[in-house]
């Protein structure tokens, strides 16, 4: 959720403010109450703005809280220059909000202030009405979530373990552009650190983790070659090494190259990637850490934005196959899918009861376990940041994960790489649109509908929003 500052404006004439002060206070109270109910943290000014000096003083006070979004609240008429002065002290996103009341001209104040901000090129959003009404509350909540996701990027660090994987241009971004546009720093870490630190992990911790997986997964299918207890423990050691590096370097989200060095000579990162993206591991509940395979920077950034909006784990997958006869996509990519998607449960035992650990296939001669499951059914939002002529855009569509009877599910999964995790997906965007316009081979998803939030994220970041499902 977002940190929100609320600054209320009143009439600059003292004798008028005395008569409307109670109404201003009551509107602010209802607005704050609604924001808190939605889960946001709210900071308010010590007094409504009634003069130049109060506008500057209270704006500076609120700016010090580093809000994701500042709401200018207009219950009554307020002199527009108050808003101009306050806006000058608040560098983040602005939302102008007014009541619609024939007795008190708050709408007039919002329009006058908004027009003044337009004149100086200060971008802002607007909302109006009664916060008790669902549509009004939803618009404010959508804007707050979008602002929270965008501001949450600033000051964060991306951990890049290894370089470009398999020649994928779409997975490599410019670090200077990331800092300038998103406020994100990039920490470069060699994959050798994963190998080196893996050997230092205490054996008892690794054994206990392996036994936990053997107890809770639907099956651990050792074959004596591509998957052995020793190889599974090597993958667990890699996970512990990565957690240590993430903590040591204060990394907020990350990506691992993996291919071909680790997957050919050490072990796949499937276990590490899946459980980094999960809200739990064998040691208990934890915060989800976004980690992208093939060190996909734009993929990881997309996932971090989606995580900021939805607060859930985020799916990472290849757009692997389209079953034209059924109108569904099979989204899969090695062991990258968080096990949470198997049942969307906060209870890991419920999710892992649907997860199998299979031996890796011929793509990965170093071996290890592939984290196999089928994504649980439900509505989802699918998105991907990519670049066209060097300019960022975000492509998105609504859709849903689907399943069929057990026999059909198995038949469809065996049509491609069975041992990888699968997500049978019916996109609202037409297949022709996806294949003609989609700018990457990787796609990302969270449960629920977040197209409105993503549109506002793009507006705040100054990038193009390409809603693929509009073509439907």
By C-alpha distance, which of 151, 163, 369 is closest to 255?
A: 163
pLDDT in tens, 342-397: 999 999 999 999 999 999 988 899 999 999 999 999 999 999 999 999 999 999 99
Name the residue among 401, 374, 387, 470 with its Cα closest to residue 430.
Answer: 470
Q: Which residues lie across from 166 on neighbouring strands? A: none
- Residue 379 backbone dihedrals phi, psi, to 5 degrees: -65, 150
Tokens of 7: 């600054």
Sheet holding 369-372, edge to edge: 219-220, 356-359, 369-372
Cβ atoms 61, 46 nearer than 8 A: yes
CA-wise closest residue to 436 among 395, 390, 393: 395
Residue 472's pLDDT is 47
Q: Which two tokens stand for residue 177?
A: 């552009």
Residues 6+ apart with CB under 8 A from 180: none
Query: What domains does the chain contain, in order, with CATH numbers?
Result: 3-151 (3.40.50.10940), 157-471 (3.20.14.10)
What's the confidence (pLDDT) of residue 170?
A: 80
Distance, in Å, from the CA atom of 300 to the CA atom of 291, rounded to the nearest integer, reads 6
Stated as kind and residue range, the H or E segment containing 332 is strand 328-332
Find out whether 384 and 298 touch, Cβ atoms under 8 Å: yes
Tokens standing for residue 335: 């062991």
Residue spans of the chain under pLDDT 70: 335, 471-472
């Amino acid at each position: 959720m977002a940190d929100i500052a609320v600054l209320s404006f009143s009439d600059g004439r003292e004798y008028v403010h005395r008569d409307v002060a109670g109404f201003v206070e009551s509107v602010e109270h209802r607005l704050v109450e609604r924001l808190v109910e939605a889960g946001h943290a709210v900071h308010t000014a010590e007094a409504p703005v009634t003069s130049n000096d109060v506008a500057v003083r209270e704006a500076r006070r609120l700016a010090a809280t580093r809000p994701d979004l500042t709401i200018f609240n207009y219950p009554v008429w307020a002199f527009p220059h108050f808003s101009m002065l306050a806006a000058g002290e608040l560098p983040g996103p602005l939302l102008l909000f007014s009541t619609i009341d024939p007795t008190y001209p708050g709408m007039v104040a919002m329009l006058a202030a908004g027009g003044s901000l337009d004149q100086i090129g200060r971008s802002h959003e607007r909302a109006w009405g009664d916060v008790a009404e669902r549509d009004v509350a939803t618009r404010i909540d959508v804007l707050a979530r979008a602002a929270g996701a965008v501001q949450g990027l600033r000051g964060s660090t991306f951990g890049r373990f290894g370089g470009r994987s398999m020649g994928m241009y779409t997975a490599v971004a410019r670090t200077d552009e990331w800092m300038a546009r998103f406020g994100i720093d990039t920490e470069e870490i060699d994959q050798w650190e994963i190998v080196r630190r893996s050997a230092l992990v205490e054996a008892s911790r690794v054994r206990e983790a392996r036994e936990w997986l053997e107890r809770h997964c639907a099956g651990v299918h050792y074959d004596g070659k591509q998957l052995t207890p020793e190889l599974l423990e090597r993958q667990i050691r890699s996970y512990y090494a990565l957690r240590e590096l993430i903590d040591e370097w204060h990394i907020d989200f990350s990506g691992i190259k993996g291919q071909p060095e680790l997957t050919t000579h050490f072990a796949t990162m499937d276990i590490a990637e899946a459980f980094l993206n999960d809200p739990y591991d064998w040691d208990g509940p934890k915060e989800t850490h976004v980690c992208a395979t093939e060190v996909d920077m734009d993929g990881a950034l997309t996932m971090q934005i989606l995580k900021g909006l939805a607060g859930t784990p985020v799916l990472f997958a290849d757009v692997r196959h389209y079953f034209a006869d059924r109108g569904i996509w099979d989204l899969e990519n090695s062991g990258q899918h968080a096990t949470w998607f198997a049942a969307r449960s906060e209870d890991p035992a419920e999710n892992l009861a649907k997860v199998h650990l299979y031996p890796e296939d011929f793509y990965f001669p170093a071996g290890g376990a592939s984290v196999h499951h089928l994504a649980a059914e439900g509505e989802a939002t699918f998105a991907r940041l990519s670049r066209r002529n060097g300019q960022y855009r975000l492509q998105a569509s609504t859709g849903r994960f689907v399943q069929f009877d057990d026999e059909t599910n198995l038949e469809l999964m065996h049509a491609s790489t069975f041992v990888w995790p699968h997500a049978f997906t019916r996109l609202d965007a037409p297949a022709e649109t996806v294949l003609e316009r989609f700018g990457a081979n990787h796609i990302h998803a969270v449960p629920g509908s977040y197209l409105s939030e993503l549109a506002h994220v793009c507006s705040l970041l100054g990038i193009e929003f390409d809603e693929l499902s509009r073509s439907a």
